[in-house]
Amino acid sequence: MSESEARPTNFIRQIIDADLDSGKHKSVHTRFPPEPNGYLHIGHAKSICLNFGIAQDYQGQCNLRFDDTNPEKEDIEYVESIKNDVNWLGFDWSGEICYSSNYFDKLYGFAVELINKGLAYVDELSPEQMREYRGNLTEPGKPSPYRDRSVAENLELFEKMKNGEVEEGIMSLRAKIDMASSFMVLRDPVIYRVRFATHHQTGDKWCIYPMYDFTHCISDALEGITHSICTLEFQDNRRLYDWVLDNITIDCQPRQYEFSRLNLEYTVMSKRKLNQLVTDNLVSGWDDPRMPTVSGLRRRGFTSASIREFCKRIGVTKQENTIEMSSLESCIRDDLNENAPRAMAVLDPVKIVIENFTGDAEVLTVSNHPNKPEMGTREVPFTREIWIEREDFREEANKKYKRLVLGKEVRLRGAYVIKAERIEKDAEGNITTIFCSYDNETLGVNPSDGRKVKGVIHWVSADAGLPAEIRLYDRLFTVANPAASDDFVSVINPESLTVLNGFVEPSLKTAEAEKALQFERTGYFCVDNKDSSAEKLVFNRTVGLRDTWAKIGD
């Protein structure tokens, strides 16, 4: 990450400052603990920037730990994608990658310790019965009829669970805390369940798996985490986090802190809903450029610097809110306006024939960035036949229209002034060709007789231009809060992807995947990192030059 990126401050960093000043901690050790059951989204990026950024700024450590206690939903594909996303965002983890499964033996031992202390018991209530016994927010729960089993019986049954002698759903191990607690999480939560599933790290060694709330705090303690940072939905779980650590024999006792999760307009952040979009083929995959996943944003052309800047701008608080999509788009526009080289592409082409251009093709030198001469120049062929945007020509127009009009002049970007003389149309009345003349004395200069030509349009040589598929991506949903809809699929934007066949200047033949470009007067684009090839160029629109949704509203 760039050293020039300003160091932020927030309530968590203030807590860390106080802990270091008081001597409570001599160093800082954080962790990022994703569950490998899907791809990371931009909400995870906020957590990554927070946890890894703190470790970086305080010269501490940050572990990457996979919370892999649910093998039925996990996959090594997700493990690899998460590692790639963390690195791409500009961070690296301390030491070896950690897995909760590394601690399965110790976790089992701590569960046995709780049984021996009379603080855990094997229950035979079904999941439905357990919900019934748990009570609700206004009524206390009632104890399971199995709650007062002896230590010896609990140890024997838990051993049977471990040895595969108990079917799934028949028994579970529960912590014995308080069925009348005002906090539902403390009403004898399940801490182990039977699952006959092959684990991507441990294979078939285990058929019982610990629950997240039991695993997470112990993993933090075993790794020496000083500040365990998570989102606000785990605020009540902190009581269980502390209870577990208070009642087992372990040296380190980390402290959990909660911050508000990222909610972003026109997206869903639920992994379940994101997975539904993928499995129902409503998008092309987890890395579809319309998805809020890190890999989707990357494929669309977002830079890691722009996402880090976005996370810095929105800050870290305890206040739940929803961030406008325009805030994210502003970050990438600011980045690319400064750093993206320019190029020309015609998305909806109509042909121009310059009738008085009779020589060989000219090679023009064009600047790669209007304000950055250090970004150099490129060569653009100028030929008798060129493509322009169909919307850049009108047969008639008022004075506000600054593009090409029949009988009038316009300047071609980096080239000459041309005048539209006549047109040809097909049988349906569509313009097929615009015949023009050009003033060969106007390359880089105004007409010598003082004529004022105000409009400038982009173009691509019809002879040398390269055909390209242009994918115009827009917001995936038509409403700002799709999660609030009864059926979030029903508010998918039918125009979230428009595919056009256009032409790009020949310099883009070797453009790198994900490398940002500004197509003059059109928007910011990048070469698709999956579908583009030398035989078929594919460009994804990252974002338009301006926010068109601001005018439309919700």
Which residue ranges are tagged as binding site? 35-37, 41-47, 67, 212, 231, 261-262, 269-271
Q: Which of 83, 271, 394, 521 is catalytic?
A: 271
Tokens of 458: 């982009």
CB atoms within 10 A of CB 115: 22
Active site residue 452: no
Active site residue 35: yes
Sign of CA dihedral 42, 45, 46, 47: positive
CB atoms within 10 A of CB 186: 19
The phi, psi pair for 469, rounded to 5°, reads: -90, 125
Asked whether the beta carbons of 300 and 328 are under 8 A apart, the reply is no
Pairing of strands 523-527, 516-519: antiparallel
- Please report where in the chains the tokens 């999509």 appear, as a residue: 325
Residue type, 64: L
Rounded Cα–Cα distance for residues 355 and 295 (Å): 48
- Please report where in the chains the tokens 């112990």 appear, as a residue: 218
Asked whether the beta carbons of 423 and 376 are under 8 A apart, the reply is no
Q: Which residues are annotated as a binding site for L-glutamine?
A: 67, 212
Contacts of 451 (CB under 8 A, 6+ apart): 409
Active site residue 318: no
Length, in residues, of the chain: 554
Rounded Cα–Cα distance for residues 67 and 37 (Å): 10
Q: Which residues are annotated as a binding site for ATP?
A: 35-37, 41-47, 231, 261-262, 269-271
Coil, helix or strand for 338? helix
Which residue(s) pair with 230 in the sheet?
258
Rounded Cα–Cα distance for residues 37 and 71 (Å): 9
Which residue(s) pair with 502 in the sheet?
468
Coil, helix or strand for 270? coil
The phi, psi pair for 388, rounded to 5°, reads: -130, 170
Q: Which of 261, 312, 351, 530 is catalytic?
A: 261
Supply the angle between the helices 304-314 and 42-57 in degrees, to the nearest 10: 80
Catalytic residue numbers? Answer: 35, 261, 271
